[in-house]
Amino acid sequence: MLKIILSEMHLSLVVTKWGWTQWMFFYFMVAGTRSLITVHQPPVLTTALGHDVMMPCRLNLSNDERMVTVPVLYWVYLTQDNADNLRLWPRCEKYEGRVERLDTTRNTSNKSIVLKNVQWADSGKYLCKLSIATERDKSFRRRGNETSLKVYDTMNFTAHNDSLLWCQVNVTPDPGFVLSIFHNGCKLQPADCAPGDAGAALPYVTLSETVPLRSKGEYECQLHLNGDLITKSIFYHSPMAEVDGDAERNGSLTRLTTASVVVVFPEPWLLYMALLLVPIVILLSLVTALLLMYRC
């Protein structure tokens, strides 16, 4: 009896020391592992203007859950006031012909869609929602954590003149977009840059950066979003010899190298001769064998 009382006192002290909140969290966390149903979306997606983008959404169920009916999928574009959200799936007239299911299998857990021919107006937040009915919890709805879609245009990376290299790209307005130029792997300090100015009516901002074009080598313009490389363009600079002797007056010229190097190998004549000798040797062997048989 004394041991039981001491055990209860010890348990009471432990519960008081840890706190009721932690105990309740632990209880529900353990209990919830048996009936966990979640919908997963990536927080950010990027795509080039005019391209198609796959927007992931996956339904995860614990092993003991059983679906009563096939989940009903909804994909919506979230407007700023959330008052008039646009429906992507099931398709509405605005997205007709531009949205497709990635996996159309009836019982698949992959609820991803493909948004085709992405435009600037498609930039924004998207939400994946599922109406679910299970044997245990009946009917309820699960939603993902929203996906923010960022769009970028084709990057322009050219020599502005004989002494400057200029890079420019249009992107969805976001302070996480950063444009940088590297020379042989080393980041260059810009001579001039635009942090992202845009007109009031434009759905994008223009990032640009200019660096001095001096020594030869590989120059690379990179677009990052929150530290992740999104796209890049490479410019090869090599001084060209001037036939008329005007190199000192005009300065070094630039050349964008796009062609691949083609290696030409000599013709394997010995191999050709060896292949031709094989049927000749076989023919001579047959003739010799026939002559021997005839003499016998």
The two structure tokens encoding residue 235: 């410019």
The two structure tokens encoding residue 9: 């006192």
The two structure tokens encoding residue 241: 């010899």
3-state SS assignment for residue 129: strand
Angle, in degrees to the nearest 10, between helices 20-32 and 2-18: 90
Residue 45 CA to residue 150 CA, distance in Å, equals 6
Residue 253 has a pLDDT of 39
Residue 274 has a pLDDT of 66
Residue 218 has a pLDDT of 92
* Torsion, CA 20, CA 26, CA 32, CA 37, rounded to 10: 100
- Fold held by 35-150: Immunoglobulin-like (2.60.40)
72-78 and 124-134 as β-strands: parallel, antiparallel, unpaired? antiparallel
Residue 206 CA to residue 222 CA, distance in Å, equals 14
Mean pLDDT by 10 residues, the chain (296 residues): 43 42 41 67 97 96 86 92 83 92 92 97 96 87 95 94 90 96 91 66 92 89 96 86 42 36 46 70 82 77
Residue 163 has a pLDDT of 84
Q: Which CATH number does 153-250 carry? A: 2.60.40.10
Residue 83 has a pLDDT of 67
Q: Delimit the CATH 2.60.40.10 region(s) of the chain.
A: 35-150, 153-250
Tokens 């919506």 -> residue: 76
Neighbours of 74 (CB within 10 A): 18
